[in-house]
């Protein structure tokens, strides 16, 4: 990553974090397509959250939903869809009657501003914008995972182990590249005042780059830069550190979540070890 991109993103993040402006945040997010569908309920068990388009729904998320129903049924699951076809939307709403699931969606044609990011670039940033809205609505602990992840074990203890934190990130402090210092595949936010403020500021920075344009892994850079500012300047900020069990690309049977990281995205997660003979 070229230095000017890093410095400009850092300055944008610092400006937004320092402003601490709810009204400006709601206004910025209001320029994007409206959030439609249902919001997750308030729950003490935690909410698993992912987002996808129709392609990733068929390729990954239907199996992810099955794995959650099988291994972590006490947790509510929230799915957000990008530009779903009408029959896709209806089929997922039908699934919501069979498990602890709520569904929301957005249509890009309803945006009130020019959107420079398209496809996967938009999705990785928009998921954290929607996460702020979901957290604000549910006031419940939310764990965001990638669409190509799988739930391997009951997440009840995983949620409770991070309950005293404002946020929990998969930090990789030894990485030199700031794009890789936070893994975006596993992010947990609690509905504390600081937790809400943190994901709100991430959301506003994401909106800025959705409009201006960005580059690969900018979502991870945004998480890192906002975390860095909070760690230095917000009194009482509590950040837990997620470890391999929350996003395991080595597929240990003791982990909570399996994640098809990097080159593994082209390979098949061993679904038989997760789903067995489940329906």
Q: What is the pTM of this model?
A: 0.95
Look at residues 34, 108, 103, 33 and name the one whose alpha carbon lies nearest to residue 62. Answer: 103
**Would you say 117 and 207 are in contact if contact means Cβ atoms under 8 Å apart?**
no
45 domain-assigned: yes
**Would you say 167 and 189 are in contact if contact means Cβ atoms under 8 Å apart?**
yes
The whole-angstrom separation of Cα 37 and Cα 81 is 10
Residue 244's domain comprises 3-265
Angle at 152 (CA atoms; ends 151, 154), nearest 5 degrees? 80
Cβ-Cβ contacts under 8 Å for 97 (sequence gap 6 or more): none
- HSE-up of 94 (CA within 13 Å, CB side)? 7
274 domain-assigned: no
- Residue 262 has a pLDDT of 53
User: Per-residue confidence at 209, pLDDT binned at 50, 70, 90?
Assistant: very high
271 domain-assigned: no
Question: For the chain, how many structural domains are there in total?
Answer: 1
Give the dihedral sign, CA 167/170/175/177.
negative
Helices (H) and strands (E) in the chain, counts: 10, 10
203 domain-assigned: yes
* Residue 5, token pair as written in the block: 């991109």
- pLDDT tens, 214-273? 888 999 999 999 999 999 999 999 999 999 999 999 999 999 999 986 554 555 688 889
143 domain-assigned: yes
276 domain-assigned: no
Q: What is the CATH number of the domain that holds 94?
A: 3.90.550.10
270 domain-assigned: no
207 domain-assigned: yes
- pLDDT tens, 107-120? 999 999 999 999 99
- pLDDT tens, 128-184? 999 999 999 999 999 999 999 999 999 999 999 999 999 999 999 999 999 999 999
């Amino acid at each position: 990553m070229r230095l000017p991109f890093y410095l400009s993103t850092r300055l944008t993040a610092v400006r937004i974090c320092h402003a601490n402006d709810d009204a400006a945040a709601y206004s910025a997010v209001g320029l994007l397509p409206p959030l439609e569908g249902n919001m997750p309920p308030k729950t003490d068990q935690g909410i698993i959250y992912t987002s996808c388009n129709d392609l990733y729904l068929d390729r990954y998320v239907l199996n992810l939903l099955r794995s959650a129903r099988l291994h972590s049924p006490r947790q509510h699951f929230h799915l957000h869809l990008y530009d779903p076809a009408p029959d896709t939307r209806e089929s997922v709403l039908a699934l919501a009657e069979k498990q602890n699931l709520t569904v929301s969606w957005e249509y890009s044609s309803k945006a009130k501003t020019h959107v420079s990011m398209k496809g996967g670039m938009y999705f990785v940033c928009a998921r954290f914008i929607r996460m702020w809205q979901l957290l604000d609505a549910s006031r419940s602990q939310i764990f965001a995972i990638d669409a190509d992840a799988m739930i391997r074990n009951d997440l009840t203890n995983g949620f409770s182990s991070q309950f005293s934190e404002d946020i929990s990130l998969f930090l990789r402090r030894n990485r030199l590249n700031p794009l890789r210092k936070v893994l975006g595949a596993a992010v947990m936010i609690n509905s504390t005042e600081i937790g809400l403020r943190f994901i709100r500021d991430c959301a506003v920075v994401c909106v800025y780059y959705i409009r201006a344009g960005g580059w690969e892994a900018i979502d991870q850079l945004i998480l890192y830069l906002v975390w860095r500012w909070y760690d230095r300047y917000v009194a009482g900020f509590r950040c837990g550190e997620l470890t391999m069990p929350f996003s395991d690309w080595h597929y240990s049977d003791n982990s909570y979540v399996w994640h098809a990281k990097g080159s593994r995205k082209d390979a098949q997660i061993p679904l038989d070890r997760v789903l067995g003979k489940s329906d």
